[in-house]
Amino acid sequence: MSEAEIYKVSGPVVVAENLDAQMYDVVKVGEEGLMGEVIEIEGEKTSIQVYEDTTGVKPGEKVVNTGQPLSVELGPGILSSIYDGLQRPLPVLEEKTGEFISRGEDADGISRDKKWEFEAHVEEGEEVEKGDVLGVVEEKGKAHRILVPPDRSGTIDTIEEGEFTVDETVAELESGEELRLMHEWPIREAREVTEKLDPGVPLVTGQRILDGLFPLAKGGAAAIPGGFGTGKTVTQQSLAKWSDADIIVYIGCGERGNEMTEVLDEFPELEDPWSEEGKKLMERTILIANTSNMPVAAREASIYTGITMAEYYRDQGYDVALMADSTSRWAEAMREISSRLEEMPGERGYPAYLASRLAEFYERAGRVEPLGVEEPGSVSVIGAVSPPGGDFTEPVTQNTLRVVKAFWALDKDLANKRHFPAISWTDSYSEYDERLNEWFEEEVDEEWGERILEVKQLLQRDEELQQTVQLVGKDALPEGQRLTLETARMVKEFFLQQNAFHPVDTFCSPEKTIDILKVILDFGDRAEQAMEEGAALEEITGLESKQMVSDIKFEEDYETLIGDIREQMDEDFENIGGEAL
């Protein structure tokens, strides 16, 4: 370790003099040994971003370089953990210091006391390469594959089975290198893979508007931009609760403490909807809490900490969904650090490298063939964006828009009308929809693509008609166009609206999604045919079957209800002269 002295302190940025260091080395700053990271080297001056409050730190105090990049510990014991942005377990820190974390406190990211039952999958004398599976331990009911670290390879000299802590040696190579259940990885470096695969399998979210109109592939990247009060956090939490990923990584990056408190209180109590054994959702979740009152520099690191853990489980052949709430707060942290370094500001004060940092983050998403595991794994990244005043032209939103392929725009007007999720069906899009339609048609319903196209066209006609309504009023439209508006209203209220707090409606399977849509569209077709035969619009809007459609999304036994609705539709349209389809 090299040692130097502090030259200057500027908020979270400390300048050291004569420090022998490389970019991104981790250093210990001041008498309390505050953790920091080298972010700029200019001559004899080295700039360090400190991940804790620097109040009281002064020039002349020592700076010690560890010579290692900022890394996370990867091994069994991560699942169900609650970390800060530096992988310090918050429950452990609370036991040590109370509700408020003292400066300079540290704790191991993974417990050194817990023993894990290790089952070897390789034998002595066998050649292993980086990423190969040494063996397996059971973690929260999942097979946690112990991987050969990415910087190791060779011939197994000895290997043992039994109970081990994460820092005990389970195998040794002929070169003398020891292999443990745990290894470390630098958070700013993407983990190596054999090959990136085309994203052709959907991440089922349980949200009708997303799975139906704007689907996300496993290994894809999506953004949820929206102003204050539009429901970004609730949408992110719903995705974390109900998406069919094997592992969930939820990063609260710079958000309000009360929002993270809801997550911390609720997730441990929720049953996992994809578990047949009634396990808790928290058993496949990793929470990273770096709230707005925590040091700003650690906020910048939290995103990388989360994506590195996600990549680790991806390399074991699991599908991982990462929620980052929000990347705007992350960008604000970069802007503050950049200004402390007196760098030339870009648009709205953000650093000139904002676009490249966002791209680097989202490009770590992907569906891949891991190095030593046969099953493909994926990391799906869903980032919330908080543009000031809901202005989608601001730099973070625009630069995010360039790199993601699913854009779920939240609309303030919809939120004001209490239409949730407030995802705009006119501004949102997904570039995955065509290739994913093939999967939905094979696995869910052969009419999927046709019906989704039909509803998109209906909503487009409705949007055009709404502009006319604003000019001349609804009553001035011919009855056929008024029927289009009525059918579109049914789609918006009975299909696109979804109650995140209703015990049944909070999650909607793809099968139920397409069944609801088919009933609404079939009703619209029957109504159009009935009007051609002379039925009045007022008769159609008053039909009992139309009122029954609104109940489908709240009904657990929805298939029986749909059968009753179709029977009622036959009776209703026969009574007003429409023929059965």
Convert the pLDDT of each residue in 285-302 to its tens digit. 999 988 777 777 788 889
Percentage, residues of the chain above pLDDT 70:
98
Q: State the average pLDDT for the chain.
A: 91
**CA-to-CA dists, residue 134 to 178, 198, 257, angstroms:** 12, 28, 40
Query: Residues near 533 by Cβ (< 8 Å), separated by ≥ 6?
Result: 577, 578, 579
The pair of structure tokens assigned to 386 is 């908080």
pLDDT confidence bin for 581, thresholds 50/70/90: very low
Q: Do domains 194-431 and 448-575 have the same CATH topology?
A: no
Write the pLDDT tens digit of every residue in 410-442: 999 999 999 999 999 999 999 999 999 999 999
Q: Residue 407, Cα to own-chain centre: how many angstroms? A: 13
The yes-or-no verdict on residue 580 having pLDDT over 80 is no
DSSP 344: P
Torsion sign over Cα 70, 295, 325, 349: negative
DSSP 158: E
Q: Into which CATH architecture does domain 194-431 fall?
A: 3-Layer(aba) Sandwich (3.40)
How long, in residues, is the chain? 581
Q: Which residues pair with 155 in a beta bridge?
A: 127
b/e burial code for range 464-473 (CB count within 10 A of at least 16 → b): ebeeebeeee
Write the pLDDT tens digit of every residue in 318-376: 999 999 988 998 999 899 889 888 888 899 999 999 999 999 999 999 999 999 898 99
CA distance 581 to 567: 12
pLDDT confidence bin for 396, thresholds 50/70/90: very high
The pair of structure tokens assigned to 476 is 């001035």
**CA-to-CA dists, residue 269 to 66, 92, 278, 281, 417, angstroms:** 40, 20, 11, 8, 31
Q: Out of 1.10.10.10, 3.60.15.10, 2.40.50.100, 3.30.360.10, which CATH number does the structure's domain 111-181 have?
A: 2.40.50.100
Residue 421 preceded by cis peptide, ω within 30: yes
CA distance 289 to 303: 11
The pair of structure tokens assigned to 527 is 């109504």
Domain topology for 2-69: Elongation Factor Tu (Ef-tu); domain 3 (2.40.30)
Write the pLDDT tens digit of every residue in 142-171: 999 999 998 889 999 999 999 999 999 999
The yes-or-no verdict on residue 578 having pLDDT over 50 is no
| pLDDT number for residue 393 | 92
Locate the domains of the chain by residue range. 2-69, 111-181, 194-431, 448-575
CATH number of 448-575: 1.10.1140.10
The yes-or-no verdict on residue 259 having pLDDT over 80 is no
DSSP 132: B
